[in-house]
Structure 1
């Protein structure tokens, strides 16, 4: 681990997080070393992540069908996530990696577990949690684009970054649309602390969100 850690210092990763203000702490170099050592597993997990991301957008559309701005915006996100899902699956097929289940790390379930049950808090938290997950995806895809030694995968990860940034921005714009700015800022501060704390212990298996 020392060789990669020496190349990918904390300052390098912190620079990316500085551009994503809601993320409190950067991804550790140890995560990058773990996932780069298991590119096939990471690619399979990426497929699961894109499918889940499309499901999040669709579920919110079904739960809040009268929120016009939300439905319009998340229709676009769901479409793009499914396109990414198709692209990842094509790469898996080209590499002879069969689709199959993977155990999920605790990150997503524990972060979603912070969502309050009563409305309108549930809507606010759902939007902010989805935005945080997309923001972390953007940061990590950027690291993979920069450091992945496989040029095909590096280019692929790079190609997704703009849409990931647009996705987390959309979720936060929607939060601002339906809630007062100060309430959004205060709750995002709380959830972002939880999000970073969940990543302080590295999951032993290579995952996008581990």
Structure 2
């Protein structure tokens, strides 16, 4: 079962900068491409949770929490794929933006730093997803699609809260906050330049 202490509190913010108006306009002009990218994002998010479970099998609380996240991400993957089918969009590969690779490049290799960084990078990715899906829900001109995105917002907020809670469980709060400051600043710098291809994390 997902731990909802803090994880359901959408007022808990970890991002340094909001998304740009340019990103929102690019997204609204390319909703089919963004839906396809969203499908890939949900699959990758499930994979990230599963990879952490396999890397740290002795961390029983982590395994329980991330099992729940992986299941929910796969449910979202299926829901997005239903939208793709309805809109006759093939589930095709897309070029990945540099966002994820650049963030993951900051993960240190030695433990326990690797666990902390992995959890905080996942928290930041989920927090950015929460912010951007919420923007799509608020501004999408298609009522049904906007409603769909609105239905995902709360779970995205839970997910980044859970990753933060796990980091807090397995590291000291002062160390966590200092590292979060560094990674959140780096995350905002990645997005300072808009990627030319429309993506959830462009």
- TM-score calculated relative to the size of structure 1: 0.91
8 A contact 1:50–1:85 mirrored in 2: yes
Aligned pair count reads: 193
Of 174, 186, 189, 1:194 maps to 186
Higher helix proportion, which one? 1
Alignment of 1:52-63 (within 5 A): 52-63=44-55
> What's the counterpart of residue 14 of structure 1?
none
Instruction: Pick closer, same or farther for the CA change 1:57–1:105 going to 2, 3 Å.
Output: same
Corresponding position: 1:112 with 2:104: yes
Corresponding position: 1:78 with 2:70: yes
Alignment of 1:137-156 (within 5 A): 137-156=129-148
CA distance in 2 between partners of 1:22 and 1:89 (Å): 29
Higher relative contact order (CA 8 A, sep 6+): 2
Corresponding position: 1:99 with 2:88: no
Structure 1 residue runs without a partner (length 5+): 1-17
CA apart distance, 1:153: 1.1
CA distance in 2 between partners of 1:20 and 1:156 (Å): 23
Of 158, 162, 177, 1:185 maps to 177
CA distance in 2 between partners of 1:198 and 1:126 (Å): 17
| RMSD of Structure 2 on Structure 1 (CA) | 1.0
8 A contact 1:92–1:98 mirrored in 2: yes
CA distance in 2 between partners of 1:180 and 1:39 (Å): 41
CA distance in 2 between partners of 1:165 and 1:25 (Å): 16
CA distance in 1 between partners of 2:159 and 2:40 (Å): 17
Of 178, 196, 199, 1:204 maps to 196
What's the CA shift string for 1:144-179, capped at 9, x where partnerless?
000000111101110000100000000000001011
